[in-house]
């Protein structure tokens, strides 16, 4: 059985938390998933949520995004701006006749409303988000006819276009080629310099290693929180990924 004690020290204590959670429990009707989590998401840093399939990464991200409500415990956000959440499958279904640009523009709806015209500033924000994800030349393509990696970049651009100070990404590099993965890694670091707190659930160990801090989940429990160097050691990875 995996022991939590060697992994407990949290160097993120030095950073101001953007989110704190205490004895947090959450899940789905009839299925508790997260059990008594105590931890924090440091502000102005990148945090990677790592752990095996089904360990609760997406569920925790959903709780941080406010789309899944805790069943008990406390969750406290410092700051009052709504997070930008990029789930594994975006809200825009493949079947919807949306272009890439329209998809990214949806990121402005939260502030502008569904029926109001986008302002010049909104359009500039959308342009910048598309440029940063390298999808400007895909602007007029239908979302449903993109490759998985192109579609993924369009959905990340949509999240970026929301202009939040908290960006929550579920498996942002899944399906991306090495160049696109590198682009996302660089982008996330730049976003932190721009004043954004970034959290990503990931299976991509390279992405996790480039984060400032990691939360390690196993079976819906927090198995550790700390820097990648501290947490993602060969022995920890073996312990975490071995069958319970
Ligand atoms: N909508 C849902 N309804 C019921 N159970 C769910 C739902 N979504 C996920 N679960 C269950 O919750 C548990 C945690 O799933 P979650 O998606 O949070 O894990 P994960 O660590 O993100 O996994 P993966 O790495 O495979 O994406 C799993 O047992 C899963 O079957």
Domain-terminating residue out of 112, 139, 163 = 163
pLDDT at 243 over 70: no
Is pLDDT of 100 > 90? yes
Give the pLDDT confidence of 153-206 residue by residue, as tens digits.
999 999 999 999 999 999 998 878 888 888 888 899 999 999 999 999 998 888
Q: Tell me, yes or no, whether 39 and 130 share the same domain.
A: no
Query: Which helix (H) or strand (E) segment is 226 a member of?
Result: strand 221-226
Name residue, tokens 């990029």. 86
Considering all CA atoms of the chain, what is the largest pairwise distance in Å, rounded to the nearest integer? Answer: 57
pLDDT for 113 equals 72
Same domain? 182 vs 222: yes
- Residue to mutate (ligand 1; options 35, 57, 204; most atoms within 8 A of CB): 57
188 lies in some domain: yes
ipTM for the predicted complex? 0.98
| Residue after which a domain boundary falls, among 163, 189, 211 | 163
Ligand 1 geometric centre to CA of 237 (Å): 20
Domain span including residue 184: 1-83+165-244
Per-residue pLDDT reduced to its tens digit, 70-85 = 999 999 999 888 999 9
Q: What tokens does 30 get?
A: 């009839």
For residue 91, tell me if it sits in a domain: no
pLDDT given at position 53? 92
| Atom 25 of ligand 1, residue of closest alpha carbon | 53
Residues 11 and 40 in one domain: yes
The verdict on residue 27 lying in a domain is yes
CATH of the domain at 6: 3.40.50.300
107 and 75, same structural domain? no
Q: How many domains does the chain have?
A: 2
87 C-alpha to ligand 1 centroid (Å): 13
Residues 172, 231, single domain; the answer is yes
Residue 125 lies in a domain: yes
State whether 176 and 220 are in the same domain.
yes
The number of the ligand 1 atom at minimal distance from the alpha carbon of 220 is 14
Whether residue 145 sits in one domain with residue 122: yes
| Residue 88 lies inside a defined structural domain of this protein | no
Question: Residue 150's closest CA among 160, 165, 164, 136?
Answer: 136
What span, in angstroms and rounded, lies between the C-alpha atoms of 163 and 124? 12
Residues 151 and 177 in one domain: no
């Amino acid at each position: 059985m995996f022991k939590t004690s060697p992994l407990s020290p949290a160097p993120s204590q030095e950073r101001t938390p953007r989110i704190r959670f205490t004895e947090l429990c959450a899940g789905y009707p009839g299925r508790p998933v997260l059990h008594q989590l105590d931890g924090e998401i440091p502000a102005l840093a990148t945090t990677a949520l790592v752990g095996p399939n089904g360990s609760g990464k997406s569920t925790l991200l959903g709780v941080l995004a406010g789309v899944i409500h805790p069943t008990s415990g406390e969750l406290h956000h410092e700051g009052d701006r709504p997070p930008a959440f990029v789930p594994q499958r975006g809200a825009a279904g493949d079947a919807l006749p949306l272009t890439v640009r329209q998809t990214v523009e949806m990121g402005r709806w939260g502030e502008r409303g569904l029926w109001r015209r986008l302002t010049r500033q909104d359009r500039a924000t959308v342009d910048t988000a598309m440029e940063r994800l390298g999808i400007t030349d895909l602007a007029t393509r239908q979302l449903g006819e993109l490759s998985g990696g192109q579609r993924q970049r369009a959905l990340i651009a949509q999240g970026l276009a929301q202009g939040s100070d908290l960006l929550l990404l579920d498996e942002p590099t899944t399906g991306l080629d090495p160049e696109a993965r590198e682009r996302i890694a660089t982008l996330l670091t730049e976003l932190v310099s721009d004043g954004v707190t970034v959290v990503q659930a990931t299976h991509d160990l390279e992405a996790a290693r480039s984060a400032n801090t990691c939360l390690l989940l196993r079976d819906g429990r927090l198995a550790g929180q700390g820097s990648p160097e501290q947490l993602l050691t060969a022995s920890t990875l073996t312990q975490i990924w071995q069958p319970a």
